[in-house]
Structure formats: C-alpha cells, structure tokens
Amino acid sequence: MLFLLILFYLNSGAARPPRIVLPGYFSCQGALLEESGNSLACYAKTQAECRNGQLVLAFEKRLSARTDRARFEIIDTVHVRTAVPGREVHITYCSTATGKPRQYFVLYKWVPAADKRYLPYPRRAWGVNAQGQLVEVSVKSLRCLNNDYGAD
C-alpha cells in the first residue's frame, strides 16, 4: 500500500502540457540542431503550401539517444503565412556581429538572381530560447546564409 501511495505521489506532479501533433501535415524541411540533437522542422497542409501558404514552424525535442533511430516530439510551434508571392521560409545559419552562428527559421524575400552568400532581404526570424520555445528575433542584427548560394 505504501508503494502505491509513493507511486501516486510521484506521478501526480505538475501536469504535462498536451502533446502537439500535426496529423495530415506534409513535412517541408527540417534541420538537426548540432549542439542538442533536437530539431527545427517546417510543416504545411500540402507540398505546394511549403513554398506559398500557411506553415507551421516547429521545435522538436529528441526523445531517443543519438545512437538510436531518431524519434522526436513537437514541443512548440509558430504559425506563419507566406501568401505574399516571393516570400519563403528556410532553416539556415545566422549570426550576429558578436555571436556564434545558430540555426533559425528565416522568412525572407526571394530574389530570382540571388547569387549572394547571405540572404539579401530577411523579414522575420525565429530561434529557440533556453526554455525550448520558439521566439521571434530581430533580423536587423542577423546575417543569414543563403542555402542556395553556389548551387547551379
């Protein structure tokens, strides 16, 4: 009986937030965060909406050991609409003048002949804070790599 009371006490702690699931969503892109093994992922209702539509940006916590098959749980999401033609979201490395490069979701204005090393027109960016939440960061101080630079 004492064992059951202890077990009940241990399991009745702070309630976990409800699990975030995205049934029926298409996985547009994803990137592993090197330092933690967690990931950033972008989802949409259809593959076409990955380029122009309603997106769900997600921070995913790794549940498995790095040596095992990767399993993730969505911890936080941000909904973004990219319905303006020529705006896209990418996961890329950005840095400030004094900071180490980190991965961010970046909403930017796509330029057809963008042969520049850095994204020329970032509009908004989201990163992960210490509490595992997606937060918007100022793009004024960020320099973000253009993932398509040098691709022919």
The CA distances from residue 87 to 83, 90, 105, 145, in Å, are 8, 10, 13, 16
Q: Does the pTM exceed 0.75?
A: yes
Residues facing 105 on adjacent strands: 91, 126
Q: Compute the distance between CA of residue 48 and CA of residue 52 in angstroms, rounded to an integer.
A: 7
SS3 of residue 18 by DSSP: coil
Give pLDDT tens digits for 88-100.
899 999 998 778 8
Q: Compute the distance between CA of residue 73 and CA of residue 39 in angstroms, rounded to an integer.
A: 10
Give pLDDT tens digits for 6-25.
545 555 554 555 667 788 89
Hey, what's the torsion of the CAs at 132, 43, 118, 93, to 10 degrees? 30
- Do the strands 72-81 and 54-62 form a parallel or antiparallel pair, or are they unpaired? antiparallel
Give pLDDT tens digits for 74-89.
999 999 988 777 788 9
